[in-house]
Structure 1
Amino acid sequence: MWSAVDLGAATMGAARTPFDATGISIDTRTLQPGDLFIALVGENGDGHAHVAEALAKGAAGALVQHDLPGATLLVHNTLDALWGLGRYARARFRGKMVAVTGSVGKTTTKEMLRTIFATVGKTHAAPASYNNQWGVPLTLARLPADAAYCVAELGTNHPGEISPLSKLVRPDVAVITAIEAAHIGYFGSIEAIATEKSAIGDGLPPNGVAVLPADSHLLGRLAVRARRTDTFGLAQVIEMHPDQDGTTVTAQVENREVQFRVNAPGLHMVLNALAALTAASVLGIDGSAAIAGFTPGAGRGLRRELQGDIRLLDESYNANGASMHAALAVLRNSPGRRMAVLGDMLELGTHGPAEHLALAPAVSQSADVVFTCGPLMQGLFNALPAALRAAHAADSAALAPLVKAAAAAGDVILVKGSLGSRMATVVRALEGIG
């Protein structure tokens, strides 16, 4: 994937001994022999402390900003060098690039596009939500030069982050899934969030296309920086037939009537599918048959049958008001005793208490029993009817055994909260039933 010459040109680094690399790693736990290990420095620690371990595990070499022994490539700043790798990889890529952003649905839409593109050509996308200042260049640095399609996910929780990411990715098609109050604590208003998301258009070439959410009342603000736009939304839908496992849809996509199946329940999944199908259609691809191959990932709506006839709706990866409402709607339409296990929605700033209280009507309509954890969810818990309130705990570790003890045959259990609420702890406890 990376010759010694290309590594030097991309990073402007000085190698003790030139080496080639077959992949890129930033984590010794997942490093493969032949990888270039990049010693990033950040909130999670200093990667230089793991260089010796990486080389011992078979790394071809390490990208470092401190002079260390072994097969190293010395640069001024390893994050800047990672961006250099991303730029170089994007420049040599001759396939089609799609970038996806939005307040909700980014990763799901990315995975739907991966599923569609993989049926027609070699496709590359990050294995997880690599959508930030290191994740996006890492996605590009791992991009095979001979791939036909690449899907990059762009995220933000502070103003000014989307534009440089878009300029790095330089997408042929830019998708905005939806605008909601996620991370509003750092933006101040939903209008500011829309303005930030619209910056995905900054990296579009003159013939690039933006795919935008027609149902958003902020559509006009989103279109400001786009050259050409297509839209997706409920107006496209001709017929929908939902069931417990998904939805069969007839819709208009780029002036064509198509039928498709989404094997994940909920209207939000249909809208994500329409975004993906529209983006694919812009590139001349009919993904209506392929999208049936998509299944939600862990923490993002994955449905699992647990021992004891218990069904788990795993939404533990993230949460905001919009995604909470979508998940609760799925729970509401599920048979059996409906259990909602909810953790704090984070990064809402002063809007946090009100956003949590606003969930009370939807929770009351959707759940038969409710467990919550975290200081913000305490307000919601107190506002619910006494008959619904099972237990509240300070955190997910304290809540998990209470939920596990209460789970019974025939239950359908929704587990949802922001990543920082660590609701996967509850999921792991439920997986241990039996």
Structure 2
Amino acid sequence: MTPLWTGTELLKATGGTFAGLSGDASALHATGITFDSRQVQPGDIFLALSGVRDGHDFVGQAFAQGAVCALTRKPVDGGPCLMVPDVLKALEKLGAYARDRAPAMRGAVTGSVGKTSVTQMVMAALSRAGRAHSAVKSFNNHIGVPLTLARMPADTERAVFEIGMNHANEITPLSELVEPDAVIITTVGAVHTENFPDGEEGVMKAKAEIFDGLKYGGLAILNADNHWFAELNERASEMGAKVQCFGEAEGADACLISHEVVDGRAQVCATLHGRDIAFTLAHTGKHQALNALSVLLMCEALKVDTATTLAALSAFEALDGRGAEHQIAVAGGHVTLIDESYNANPISMVATLNALAARRLVTGGRRIAVMTDMLELGPDELKRHAALAPALTAAGVDQVFVAGPLMRALWDVLPEALRGAYAATAAELLEPLKTALRPNDIVMIKGSNGSKAGLIAKSLLI
């Protein structure tokens, strides 16, 4: 097996020095890299990062599990340690070295919603076109992005990276580290607004930081339907980017013409640079059809032919917590569970409710929305929860089950006919929800990670 890293490369990349290494550095071969001692596999490099616990406390465990080397600030018994002044800075240097040694064209994805799904859709197409690389999951922060770069094999041809943020000035250093050839901003909305004094405008400016690392003349792919499109277009152009857009707006480079759910799949008709295209998606939400259009533009920029991307999109399965569907047995039949429990904000809530509305019911079935608190919305958080009531009515939802102190604001304004149950916590909502389910119901579950929407989904799947 070709090593991911040799000891010689580690020295060149970090400028560190080895302690406890027997033999020449060139003989040290590593096949992986991780910061979680519980996930160490034989052949890995272990990163002794400092967090809630000091990673140095777990170096011995990592060596016992087969790590061939550890990046540390000091020598630790048990195996060779590459000593550096700052392990996180050393990881960033590894990421930059891996970026420069590979011939890969690179894409980067950010946005208020849809980042992970879009990144994985892009990866599905890139992997069909050649040697491709991406994060194994939503590794989109100051550790996850350099780690994903450091895990990139030297022969990678194309790669895609997800970049997230909670505050201003977080995306710029990550984008500059990735140096993408193309970027996508899926959309901008009221997410993490509690961290921005200027509210949603601050979020827009933070998302626009992705242009800071975009190669000059690279492609910025923007949502033509988003109300921040003009500002983002201007900022991208000022940075020397080419701009293409996707959406339903007339003249979009990738323009959605129609979206229909047939036999549990979305049937999508669109135009790509004026050419008619059609494809199907396992994820039935219209918002994912729009996301797929951004994927077409990015893959085109990364030299993947459209036919390959369309085939990848048609084969792409919705991710767990992001639209994955399950059939659950109940007395007398089954219900359909749509698991959107990974995270939530007002934009994604409305998009998911619209997707629920598009689902056709069979005899006796109902549309049921199960919702937990949306977090990090700032001083207007109660108002934003209550404001979901019209979307629930418009979606034709029959019953609403909500949990959490913030969702109480929605419960208080719901029409009596829609009220299924309210509970203070997700765990307390389980019993009334399970009792209420009937054959042929379609149940959508959505909420923020911190409010435990995922607990409800998992409990129904047991």
| Corresponding residue number in structure 1 for 2:206 | 196
Q: 1:383 Cα shift?
A: 1.3
| Distance change (3 Å), C-alpha of 1:413 and 1:238 | closer
| Corresponding residue number in structure 1 for 2:252 | none
| Corresponding residue number in structure 2 for 1:70 | 78
- CA contact under 8 A between 1:401 and 1:429: conserved in structure 2? no
| Corresponding residue number in structure 1 for 2:317 | 295
Q: 1:244 Cα shift?
A: 5.3
Task: Give the distance between the partners of 1:303 and 1:198, measured in 2 at CA.
Answer: 33
Task: Give the distance between the partners of 1:100 and 1:374, measured in 2 at CA.
Answer: 31
State the structure with more CA Rg.
2
Q: Which runs of 4+ in 1 moved over 3 A?
A: 238-241
1:163-202 CA distance string (max 9 Å, x none): 1111000000111111111111112321211111111111
| Corresponding residue number in structure 2 for 1:282 | 301
Are positions 1:354 and 2:373 aligned together? no
- CA contact under 8 A between 2:404 and 2:423: conserved in structure 1? yes
- CA contact under 8 A between 1:404 and 1:429: conserved in structure 2? no
Task: Give the distance between the partners of 1:207 and 1:329, measured in 2 at CA.
Answer: 37
1:13-33 CA distance string (max 9 Å, x none): 222114321101121232211
Pick from 120, 123, 131: which aligns with 2:132? Answer: 123
The answer to which of 103-112 and 324-333 deviates more is 324-333
Task: Give the distance between the partners of 1:375 and 1:155, measured in 2 at CA.
Answer: 27
Task: Give the distance between the partners of 1:356 and 1:302, measured in 2 at CA.
Answer: 24
SS at match of 1:42: coil
Are positions 1:218 and 2:228 aligned together? yes
1:289-313 CA distance string (max 9 Å, x none): 3210111110001111122312111
- What does residue range 259-408 of structure 1 map to in structure 2 within 5 Å? 259-284=278-303, 285-286=305-306, 287-308=309-330, 309-334=334-359, 335=361, 336-366=365-395, 367-408=397-438
- CA contact under 8 A between 2:236 and 2:243: conserved in structure 1? no
The answer to which of 283-292 and 321-330 deviates more is 283-292
Q: 1:63 Cα shift?
A: 1.4
Pick from 417, 423, 426: which aligns with 2:447? Answer: 417
Task: Give the distance between the partners of 2:187 and 2:264, measured in 1 at CA.
Answer: 23
- CA contact under 8 A between 1:11 and 1:75: conserved in structure 2? yes
Pick from 49, 55, 69: which aligns with 1:47? Answer: 55
Task: Give the distance between the partners of 2:74 and 2:377, measured in 1 at CA.
Answer: 38
Task: Give the distance between the partners of 1:152 and 1:263, measured in 2 at CA.
Answer: 23
Task: Give the distance between the partners of 1:381 and 1:108, measured in 2 at CA.
Answer: 30
SS at match of 2:294: helix
| Corresponding residue number in structure 2 for 1:229 | 243
Q: Which runs of 5+ in 1 are unaligned?
A: none
- CA contact under 8 A between 2:115 and 2:186: conserved in structure 1? yes
Pick from 239, 243, 260: which aligns with 1:241? Answer: 260
TM-score for the superposition, normalised by structure 1? 0.95
| Distance change (3 Å), C-alpha of 1:80 and 1:297 | same
| Distance change (3 Å), C-alpha of 1:244 and 1:41 | farther
1:360-391 CA distance string (max 9 Å, x none): 11123432222211111111111112232222
Matched to 1:182, the amino acid is V
SS at match of 1:240: strand
SS at match of 1:390: strand
Q: 1:221 Cα shift?
A: 1.4
Are positions 1:160 and 2:169 aligned together? yes
Task: Give the distance between the partners of 1:382 and 1:209, measured in 2 at CA.
Answer: 46
Q: 1:243 Cα shift?
A: 2.8
Are positions 1:60 and 2:71 aligned together? no
Q: 1:84 Cα shift?
A: 1.2
Task: Give the distance between the partners of 2:246 and 2:448, measured in 1 at CA.
Answer: 27
Task: Give the distance between the partners of 1:250 and 1:427, measured in 2 at CA.
Answer: 32
Task: Give the distance between the partners of 2:230 and 2:76, measured in 1 at CA.
Answer: 52
SS at match of 1:70: coil
Matched to 1:256, the amino acid is R
Q: 1:426 Cα shift?
A: 0.6
The count of aligned residue pairs is: 431
Q: Which runs of 5+ in 2 are unaligned?
A: 250-254
Task: Give the distance between the partners of 1:86 and 1:400, measured in 2 at CA.
Answer: 44
| Corresponding residue number in structure 1 for 2:35 | 26
Matched to 1:413, the amino acid is V
The answer to which of 319-328 and 45-54 deviates more is 45-54
| Corresponding residue number in structure 2 for 1:256 | 275
- CA contact under 8 A between 1:184 and 1:351: conserved in structure 2? no
RMSD, aligned CA: 1.6
Matched to 1:157, the amino acid is N
| Corresponding residue number in structure 2 for 1:427 | 457
The answer to which of 167-176 and 407-416 deviates more is 407-416
| Corresponding residue number in structure 2 for 1:208 | 218
Are positions 1:37 and 2:46 aligned together? yes
- CA contact under 8 A between 2:121 and 2:295: conserved in structure 1? yes
Q: 1:87 Cα shift?
A: 0.8
Matched to 1:57, the amino acid is Q
Matched to 1:33, the amino acid is P
Are positions 1:112 and 2:115 aligned together? no
SS at match of 1:247: strand
Pick from 143, 157, 160: which aligns with 1:151? Answer: 160
Matched to 1:318, the amino acid is N
Matched to 2:225, the amino acid is D
